Structure 1
Amino acid sequence: MIPELSAAYVCLHVGFKLALPDGRWPLSAAALKSMVCLVPMACGIVLCLASVAVAAAPRAVAGSAAADSTAATDASRFSPERLRRVDDFLGKATGAQGYLGAVSLVVADGKVVQSGAYGYRDLARSSPMREDSIFRIYSMTKTVTTVAVLMLMEEGKLSLDAPVSRYLPEFSDLQLFEGGTAERPRLAKVKGTLTLHHLLTHTAGFAVAGNEEATKLLERADLHGSSDLTEFARRLSQLPLAVEPGTRFNYDGTQLEVLARVVEVASGQPFDTFLQQRILAPLEMQDTGFSVPVSKRDRIVDITVMGSDGKLALDQGPSALQPGAMLNPYPSGAGGLYSTAPDFMRLCQMLLEGGSHEGVTLLGRKTVEQMRANHLTFLDPPVTQFSDAEGFGLGGSVLLDPARKGRLGTVGQFGWSGAASTYFSIDPTERMVSILLLQHLPNGASNDLPRISTPFYNLVYQALVR
């Protein structure tokens, strides 16, 4: 394993922060070289303006591991005073009656404009949150899996409009659940062709949250008890679809597990090996993987649920009771990754920059544009599970109407979230990435904690003044 990341800041104090919270640089080597040439002049400026810098320096935030969390220059598009509202909000949200803790990271124009570690990473509230704390990012894994699929498409090893059966022959003779019961189903042959594009856009027609009796068949198959992705795909292929492919958007992880198996077949590598060698290592995502080394497990954040007594309790699922272990018997392309805010920022920066970051190119610019486009225009209504303010791209949602969404943002904004309250957003127009990581499984009960992604994004966007 690559050695554990340093938590120290590496900054050029010319009024703005250049380094990510883990010490790595969001700028390219060429950009850094050009910046180095300016250091002597910058030092003189800093000496001359020392009194101004001290007066304007952002204050430390109680409960935050990042004292300099709102650094910005006068020329910045962000107001430092307004950015402090993000700190104040997250500090309160992780107070004694709130979430255990949170990590935020906002990068605009390649510079960190806001970051912070708030609260604690353990239920006992004895270990302060760190900016390199490790989170179960669950469904944010889907974006990484999508990148893997698109890389293989660019290499000519996959075609998105190709039948899934071209790569997984067990999907050749799919059936459709037309009625009856799980014990005595009435089945018919599927008329359409299930494609990789259907899997990527969650329009495959699998029975998740569909017909109740068809869903019973899915549950009995115990897909998540599969020993590997090969077994997962085999079990799923024997089950009937709930609807014809391409006729309904139905978000679920099943489709991404099939895509993970397709990656294995097309690449000739185990899925986790492909991700490590082709995505995680090139992007230097050193704290991201399907398991966490023992030496790093003290950085894993406890995952909580709201108890019936109105107090936070440790979740009793395997991922909470065995922190750092694989979340499934197989490397789950739908939700199996652990990661940190600085690590995931590197993936997001790659997507923001059109497929390349720090001299590493994973995707072409046009492919990234396809990821961020709404792919549900062929459905009527286009989205049946979320809201008509959003569409779905490849690996995440696409904001179509900020007003209808009810939060500040930009048309074309791309992002996704994870089940345990982890969020990311990529805004190409504002050249900005926003990440918020918590570890809480909401249950929808009246006594549960309020979700804070919308106020977080609102506070980030209200700080934009230029």
Structure 2
Amino acid sequence: MKKTEELPEGDPSELGFAPERLDRISNMIDAEVSAGRLPGAVTLVARRGQVVHSHVSGKLDVERSADVRADSLFRLYSQTKPMTAAVLMTLFEEGAFLLDEPISKWIPEFAKPSVFGIKPPRDTVRGDFAQTTPALREITIYDLLTMTSGLPSLGRTPVVYGPAMKAAGITLGDTGDPTADYDDQIVAIADIPLHSQPGEVWNYGYDFDVLTLFLTRVSGKSLDALFQEKLLGPLGMHDSSFYCNEEDLSRLVTEYLWNPAEEKLAIRDRPETSEKAGHGDKRVMSGNGRNGGLVCSPNDFARFAQMLANGGELDGVRILGRKTIELMRTDHLGDRCIDSFAPNYGFGFGMFVRKSIGSSFTPGSAGTFGWAGAAGTWFFIDPKEELFGLFFTQVFGYMFPTAVQFEKMTYEALC
């Protein structure tokens, strides 16, 4: 099996960092692991293509002896989105489509969408509270990339559409073996009215699942084959795939939940019983991150992050053009902000974009971009400072406190 080539190491002092301040990151992570709040974690910071900080702490499984390493395998969940956007943009550069084309050109079920409207109580009679009207226009590829499509979601769509939402796989929790056909679930989303007009409202939803089906149809290839051809293979990301081979299961970390009542970690998914082991009859390969999304090592993701930081190229291999990367990492929301991060964050193609440092609670730079995964993975790239950072753990829903501290400490270590 091929081994992923690690990024070269650099001298922190020569690259503008105070080494003793970078050590604060390691101390913080070790303290979280010792306190039992994290099972294990990997942190990495690079500037101008050289690693200035790399730290591993803890175990693959707190009840077992194997240590976490930089080549351990983590479920990326929604951190798969930026990679999906990069794969999509390779096809865009090849002329396969334009971003303002309607998605119904490839998935006709999404033609002529409708939008539900909530009537004022005085105008409502029983059974008539979710009236729909035709959408002003169709959903475009651009709407899906920027998550402004208006697609149904748990937080915005009325409960009357609950059965249809369930048929479309729009439910809480997804680590079990899938029983429904993934493509059928995505097509079923088209049966549910939009919560807003296309292009109007940013909402964290299932846009990248629809883009997954689009990618397989426009290319005529499976998502894993497309990822391998356009991204993973060219970048030498040998640890990344949607499912683990038998020989790689020993590197797959156990996924945990934080039990607030008992204030301790609880097992959510172990390698030997994981859906990611591919034992089930069906496999979900989701560019949105369903069922864990892509499985990836920190070493692998560092190569992807460095490619983005370099403007689309790594080690002489160009994945995307420089101006295409600029388009991806530009905020496309205007005056609007996303509701998933701190104040003053917009959205590019599958990634947050920091609009400014005004009204912010942590240091940083305008134009910084990145994203996170539901089980505790996080990355950010700062074009102005020519740096990126990775934080990888595997605790479902418990990423923000420690990940934010990690990013904050990275900036505080700059001289």
Fold agreement, TM-score > 0.5? yes
Contact 2:42 2:69 in 1 (8 A): yes
Contact 1:182 1:217 in 2 (8 A): no
Equivalent pair of 2:115/2:197 in contact (CA under 8 Å): yes
Measure, in 1, the Cα distance between the counterparts of 2:299 and 2:127: 46
Matched letter for residue 409 of structure 2: L
| Equivalent-residue separation in structure 1 for 2:366 and 2:160 (angstroms) | 37
Looking at structure 1, the residues matched to 351 and 136 of structure 2 have their Cα atoms a distance apart, in angstroms, of 28
Quote the Cα distance in structure 2 between the aligned partners of 1:205 and 1:251. 10
Q: Which amino acid aligns with 1:345?
A: A
Match of 2:395 in 1: 440
Q: How many residues align?
A: 395
**What SS class does the counterpart of residue 405 from structure 1 fall into?**
coil
2:150 is matched with which residue?
A: 205
TM-superposed deviation, 1:98: 2.4
**Structure 1 residue 401 displacement after superposition:** 2.2
1:167 aligns with one of 96, 106, 109 = 106
Q: Does 1:359 align with 2:316?
A: yes
Listed one character per residue, the Cα deviations across residues 303-350 of structure 1 (whole Å, up to 9, x for unaligned) are 1112332221101x6989416335983211111101011100111111
State the distance in 2 between where 1:268 and 1:226 align: 24
2:195 is equivalent to residue 246 of structure 1: no
Classify the secondary structure of the residue corresponding to 1:281. Answer: helix
CA contact (8 A) 1:182 1:213 kept: no
Task: Mark the runs of 5 or more structure 1 residues left unpaired by the alignment.
Answer: 6-21, 28-69, 444-448
Q: Deviations over 1:3-57 (max 9, x none)?
A: 153xxxxxxxxxxxxxxxx6x2536xxxxxxxxxxxxxxxxxxxxxxxxxxxxxx
Question: What is the aligned partner in structure 2 of residue 278 from structure 1?
Answer: 230
Q: Deviations over 1:122-177 (max 9, x none)?
A: 03152221121110011110011101111111111121111111121111122222
CA pair 202-320 structure 1, distance change in 2 beyond 3 A? farther
SS at match of 1:233: helix
Q: Secondary structure at the match of 1:206?
A: coil
In 2, distance between residues paired with 1:351 and 1:113? Answer: 18
Which residue number corresponds to residue 338 of structure 1? Answer: 295
Residue pairs, 1:34-45, within 5 angstroms: none
1:403, distance to aligned residue in structure 2 (A): 4.2
Q: CA RMSD in A?
A: 2.5
Taking structure 1 as reference, are residues 329 and 73 closer, same or farther at Cα in structure 2, changes over 3 Å only? Answer: closer
Matched, 1:236 2:189: yes
Q: Select 1:127's aligned residue among 49, 66, 69.
A: 66
Alignment correspondent of 1:91: 30
1:312 matched to 2:262? The reply is: no
Structure 1 ranges of 4+ moved more than 6 A: 180-184
What's the secondary structure of 2:250's corresponding residue? Answer: helix
Deviations 1:412-446 (A, max 9, x none): 00100000111001111111110000000137xxx
| TM superposition shift of 1:261 | 1.1
The secondary structure found in structure 1 opposite 2:52 is strand
Shift of 1:178: 2.6
Shift of 1:119: 1.1
Aligned residue number for residue 412 of structure 1: 367
Residue deviations 1:163-206 (CA, integer Å, cap 9, x gap) = 11112111112222234888985332222221111111111111
CA distance in 1, matches of 2:294, 2:127: 33
Equivalents in 2 of 1:236, 1:319: separation in Å? Answer: 31
Aligned to 1:350: 307
Higher RCO, 1 or 2 (CA under 8 Å, sep at least 6)? 2
Aligned residue for 1:43?
Answer: none
Cα distance, 1:450 vs structure 2:
7.3
User: 3-state DSSP class of the match of 1:223?
Assistant: coil
Matched, 1:290 2:242: yes
Alignment equivalent of 1:329, drawn from 276, 283, 288: 283
SS at match of 1:285: coil
Aligned partner of 1:300: which letter? Answer: L
Per the alignment, in what secondary structure is the counterpart of residue 396 of structure 2?
Answer: coil
Asked if the contact 1:226–1:329 (Cα under 8 Å) also holds between the matched residues in 2, the reply is no
Matched-pair contact (CA < 8 Å) for 1:217–1:239: no
- The 8 Å contact of residues 6 and 299 in structure 2, kept in 1 or not, is answered as no
Query: Match of 2:227, as an amino acid?
Result: L
Q: 2:96 — aligned with what?
A: 157
Say which SS state the counterpart of residue 84 (structure 1) adopts. helix
| 8 A Cα contact 1:191 1:244, kept in partner | yes
| 8 Å Cα contact 1:103/1:129 also seen in 2 | yes
Alignment CA distance shift 1:182-1:128 (3 Å): farther
**Aligned match of 2:213 in 248, 261, 267?**
261
1:277-320 CA distance string (max 9 Å, x none): 211111111111101111111111111112332221101x6989
Looking at structure 2, the residues matched to 266 and 133 of structure 1 have their Cα atoms a distance apart, in angstroms, of: 33
Compare 236-245 and 177-186 and name the one that shifted more: 177-186
Q: CA–CA distance in 2 between the matches of 1:362 and 1:183?
A: 51
Tell me the amino acid that sits aligned with residue 353 of structure 1. Answer: N
Normalising by structure 1, report the TM-score.
Answer: 0.79
- 1:460 has 2:410 as partner: yes
For 1:88-138, what per-residue CA distance to the aligned partner results, in whole angstroms no more than 9, with x for missing partners? Answer: 111111114321110111111111100011011103152221121110011
Counterpart residue number, 2:384: 429
Is the Cα contact below 8 Å between 1:294 and 1:324 reproduced in 2? no
* C-alpha contact (below 8 Å) 1:123/1:313 kept by paired residues: no
Question: In the aligned structure 2, how far is the partner of 1:73 from the partner of 1:309?
Answer: 40
| Alpha-carbon separation, structure 2, partners of 1:226 and 1:157 | 32
One-letter amino acid of the counterpart of residue 175, structure 1: S
CA-to-aligned-CA distance 1:368-408 (integer Å, 9 cap, x gap): 0011110001xx54445544411101120001123423112
Kept in 2, the 8 Å contact 1:371–1:394? The answer is: yes
Distance 1:436 1:450, change over 3 A: closer
- Residue 361 of structure 1: CA displacement? 1.1
